[in-house]
Amino acid sequence: MIDEGGKMMNIGIIGTGNISHFLLEEIEGKNKTQNEHINITAVFGRNKEKGNELSKTYHVDFYNKIDQFLQSPTDLIVEAATVEVAMEQSEKILKSGKHLMLSSVGSMGDWTFYQKIEKLAKQEARHVYIPSGAVGGIDVLKAANVLGELKTVSLTTKKSPQSLGLEEDPEEAKVIFEGAAGEAIQQFPKNINVSIVLSLAGIGTEKTKVRIVADPNISRNTHVIEASGHFGSFHFTVENEPMPSNPKTSYLAALSILSTLQNIDHPIKIGN
C-alpha cells in the first residue's frame, strides 16, 4: 500500500483514450470534491491533438516523450492504453520509482513478463495494482484458493460482434473461442482482460477455462464465472453496460480503476 502520510497523491496516466477521459472527468472535473486526496497532474500519449485537448480541458501537463513524463512529480502511474504499451513501459515505470496500476491486465498473462514485474516491484519497493475490471467475485476466488484447494474456474463471456471487433456479424449467438485463458488473451487482447484477472486470483492461465460468445442480440457485455473446490461451488453473473464512447470497454472496468485509486490509502480495508 502507498504510504504518503496523508498528503496528496499525484497520478500520471498513460493513454489519451476513453478511460483517461473518464478518470480526468471524475477526478479533475465534476467530482473533484469527492477525490480531494488524489490529483492527476500528467498525461502521456502519442496522439498530440488529444493530449493537448486533455491538457487544456483539465489543466494537466501533457507529454509525448516517456522519459519526460516519468520525470514529472507523480507517485503512481495508471496505464490506460494497450497490452503492448503495458509490456513496453511497466519496467521503466517501476525503475523510475513510481507505483503502477495496470488497466491492460492481459499483459500479465505472459508468465515471463509477470515474473519480471513481480521481481522488479520487490527490488524497487513499489506496488503494482490490478483493478478487478469488468468482473466480480475476485475475493471469493482468492479466499477459496488460499490453501490451494480451488479446483476449477471457468468464464463464459458474451459480447456483441461489434464490441469484439468482428468484421462479420453472425445472425445468431456463436461460440468464437473455447480454451485456456492464456490462449484467449493472445487471440483477443482487447476483449478478454477479465480472464487474466480471474487467472491471477485463482488457478492460473492454463487451468482457467474461457468461452467467448458473439451474440448480435445483446447490448450488455455478460460474464458468467463458475468455480468449485473444497470450499463448495460458486456461480456469478455480471451484465456490464459498455462505455458510451467505446463499446469495446465495459463501464465497470473504468469504475474499478477509479475505485482502486480512491481506496489505496483508506485506513479501513474491505475484502482480502
Q: Catalytic site residues?
A: 223
Closest to 130 measured CA to CA, from 234, 216, 256, 4: 256
Check the CA dihedral 102-178-113-139 and report its sign: positive
Residue 173, all three cell numbers? 449467438
Query: What is the 3-state secondary structure of the chain?
Result: CCCCCCCCEEEEEECCCHHHHHHHHHHHHCCHHHHCCEEEEEEECCCHHHHHHHHHHHCCEEECCHHHHHHCCCCEEEECCCHHHHHHHHHHHHHCCCEEEECCHHHHHCHHHHHHHHHHHHHHCCCEECCCCCCCCHHHHHHHCCCCCEEEEEEEEEECCCCCCCCCCCCCCEEEEEEEHHHHHHHCCCCCHHHHHHHHHCCCCCCCEEEEEECCCCCCEEEEEEEEECCEEEEEEEEECEECCEEEEEHHHHHHHHHHHHHCCCCCCCCC
Question: What sign does the CA torsion over 24, 86, 258, 248 have?
Answer: positive
